[in-house]
Amino acid sequence: MEWIRQRLDKIKEPFSKGKKFEKYAPAVNALDTFLFVPNHTTKKGAHIRDAVDLKRVMITVVLALIPALIFGMWNAGYQYLSQIQAEVGFWEALGHGAIKLIPMIVVSYAVGLGIEFAFAIFRGHEVNEGYLVTGLLIPMIMPIDIPLWMVAISVVFAVLIGKEAFGGTGMNILNPALTARAFAFFAYPTYMSGTKVWVSEASDVDAVSGETILGKLASGNEVAYSSMDMFSGLIPGSIAETSTICILAGALLLILTKVGSWRIILSGFIGAAIMGLIFNSLGGSFPDNDLMNFEWYNHLIIGGLAFGIVFMATDPVSAAQTTKGKWIYGFLIGLFAVMIRIFNPAYPEGIMMAILLMNVFAPTIDHYVIQGNVKKRKKRVKAQVKTA
């Protein structure tokens, strides 16, 4: 261990202060801290001593994403093999998905980290770890057949406009991964929605219904999947959002390590369930509207709602910060997600729109929560003064 440390220090020497490559120090330091825990500590102000830093937090989220990622990989292959009526073997399916997914992840990390490193060197600050999660999330919420250059451009847009324009990690008002998806969705709609994109190479095979469940409902077609399929994730959709089971496993890890807020996750599901129930009860008067009559509990387990609420809405930067604010924020995300789905079938990604919308409103929610608290305490002081 000591030997590695010494070697690393030797490599880092030309990058230290006053030396030849001082400018590129952030890049080298970033790689160094991947291997060793950095030994610098906060110097000013009161602070809590804790072993957790940004890097550990991000790695925890990445670990939480692994089950959904592996399942997404396998499901991509499963959907492909079952559409050409081939025998579905575990390794064949996983292999097919991996061939499709791994290049996307590589492109996403290469492009995104390239921009992050460039900005760190240009602006003279350390490289932030925020992109570790974003870079994995972006390919996970794309359709399986999207061309790699579209992934790259979406990443460029998300990192440049969604993040660096606001000042880098921790300053962004929108979730970068969803910014990337929203960009791709509006820029290349034919690759991001419709009947042909959700199953790998679907356009090559005739008479295959590769629609997502929400797409089917919007066009008034019969849904052939059971609730169990939707829950376990054996349905077409964006790569890693289909399996609610795997997402909940990730959610458990996030909640146990206190990385993700259980309040946002819980209230998000409650909000979606309530909106679903409202529409179900109204559904009797609109018998033709399949989306309205779709059972409320099914709304919770399809269309990336779980994925969005667990991994995107809990993003600590763009979410609400106050405890009460988190409840409101999560609740409204669930509410709006189901509402957008039903009122606007052209945008089946209700959860994407809902989270981006609430990201914008999160600071406002926090402001009113804090002001409400200030008022309450002022009243209490007044009451105490009176009684005394």
Residues 152-171 that bind another protein (CB under 8 A): 153, 161, 165
Binding segment (CB under 8 A) for another protein, from list 184-192, 239-247, 259-267, 352-360: 184-192
For residues 191 and 380, give the distance between their C-alpha atoms in angstroms, rounded to a whole number. Answer: 57
Nearer Cβ to another protein, position 3 or 186? 186
Nearer Cβ to another protein, position 177 or 338? 177
Side chain identity at 379, as an amino acid letter? K
Nearer Cβ to another protein, position 110 or 187? 187
Binding segment (CB under 8 A) for another protein, from list 45-53, 143-151, 231-239, 363-371: 143-151
Nearer Cβ to another protein, position 246 or 340? 340
142 with 200: CB under 8 angstroms? no
Binding segment (CB under 8 A) for another protein, from list 49-57, 108-116, 144-152, 308-316: 144-152
Binding segment (CB under 8 A) for another protein, from list 20-28, 149-157, 206-214, 375-383: 149-157
114 binds another protein, rule: CB under 8 A: no
Nearer Cβ to another protein, position 188 or 297? 188
151 with 183: CB under 8 angstroms? no
Q: If binding means CB under 8 A, how many residues of this protein chain bind another protein?
A: 13
Query: What's the full length of the chain, in residues?
Result: 388
Cβ neighbours of 302 (radius 10 Å): 27
Among 15, 183, 311, 327, which residue sits at the site for another protein (rule: CB under 8 A)?
183
Residue 169 CB, shortest distance to another protein, in Å, is 18
Instruction: Give the per-residue contact string, 186-205, with another protein (x = CB under 8 A; - = no).
Output: xxxxxx--------------
133 with 108: CB under 8 angstroms? no
Nearer Cβ to another protein, position 149 or 361? 149
User: Which residues form the interface with another protein (CB under 8 A)?
Assistant: 147, 149-150, 153, 161, 165, 183, 186-191
